[in-house]
Chains A and B, each alone.
Chain A
């Protein structure tokens, strides 16, 4: 693609922050207040006046509306308000792409990407519907007891593991890596709660092949990132982190109803990953550290395969705790503890962790990390991913 049609190097992330992270239902504050708090903290991190924010970008039908946020914060004007379609965390890096695109095309100067969740206020994700009568596509699954996120994805993972001879130990390694990294991160909800192989193996099944520890948490909190143009990136207190690529999408008919997508045993990245690498001008070998969205470990497994880090038939050798651990593993993974053990903020915490790795201030720092990748929301549609890097990578 020509330089004029790329996001590479056009925008930079200059501020990141999160509220305190809580177990679901434990936030003392309502969701909208959490959103404001995260945005203000990100502005403080960037050293900017919150009134200079002129764009808001979110995903997964975030309830904290851009116009209300802009008014509450007294922003001088609103130039850009964007909602990435799709549920779950598939839009995390997509919201970043939309923000970067707004800046690159002159639609906005200073965009905040955010996500806020208070499940105590608005209800939990992991519970089935309570309706008595149901029509539409879910009428074809829910009466059979298929209604939670784990249940929606378990059959994709079972099929992938069957097709490629993947053992349960590969999923376990992904879970152990998140929990191990969280033990270094005081922000993590699972800080001080380590997990070992025996505890994983002994944990109850949720829906095979997912044990309890293969499933993300449910949390309350908010997270935010401030983006400006690359030209301005050096004017802020922290080492800038540049967007090298950010894309979203999914393969042919990924949204076909009632589990009829042609490429069923997939995380949804088979067409997204090649576009990501083409935009970045990079390949998997250039990535120093990976944050890969864990709704369920099986989604991470397929994401990593579809991003080209490992062949499908090599999963049993590749997915070991040693390979996935910071600082010295082959592919340090989810170095904040991720959705499993830091916080399930629909994955925006993963994007923040990628920035911290480039800044050099992660609690599980990979030495000299110059390039960090985030894969957002496997197995939903659309998914998204991004690559960010230091000034040296421009």
Chain B
């Protein structure tokens, strides 16, 4: 499967101290790992050094299914990066993950960019690998589940 967006956008890498490294390593293995607190078991995203609920510094990464609900969306038309100059419209999805405490994650809604966009749609994750980049990385994209 070719990548949804044209090549040339910045390559995501873990922050130097490793705060979000399990997430990025997980995607390469087609696993969605998000931050969870050992103190109160709550999920949080994006990753932080402390649990915003109980202030524990003891945090782990837990696997959660790449299944969610379309919380919001946008169809982008105006390219603000040279790599997207010939892209045409594309769709960004904000996906709520009910199995991970309702945290949200950003991705693209792949398929026809002119597809109807409905908040509340069930969406499934698709792992988009970029093995030939340096360093290689994987993005988590989304597709609307058939009704």
Contacts and interface: CB of A to CB of B under 8 A. Distances in A.
B119 interface: yes
Interface string A250-265: 0001001111100011
B10 A133 contact: yes
B60 interface: no
Contacts of A144: 5, 92, 106-108, 139
Interface in B16-65: 16, 20, 44-48, 52
A111 B58 CA distance: 46
Interface string A145-172: 1111011001110110010000000000
Contacts of B9: 142-143, 145
B80 A135 contact: no
Contact of A208 (B10, B75, B106, B139): B75
A136 B21 CA distance: 10
Interface in A203-220: 204-208
A206 B14 contact: no
Interface of A: 126-137, 139-148, 150-151, 154-156, 158-159, 162, 204-208, 253, 256-260, 264-265
A154 B48 CA distance: 25
Nearest to B9: A143
Which of B47, B94, B103 lies at the interface centre, i.e. has the most chain A CB atoms within 10 A of its CB?
B94
A155 B10 contact: no
Nearest to B118: A162
Contact of B5 (A133, A145, A155, A158): A145
Contacts of B80: 126-128, 147-148, 151
Contact of A140 (B12, B81, B84): B12
B115 interface: no
A257 to B, nearest CB: 3
B12 A143 contact: yes
Given A130-B81, A135-B20, A144-B92, 17 more contacts: A132-B11, A135-B12, A135-B14, A143-B9, A144-B106, A145-B92, A151-B92, A155-B92, A159-B119, A205-B78, A207-B74, A207-B76, A208-B75, A257-B45, A257-B48, A258-B106, A260-B46
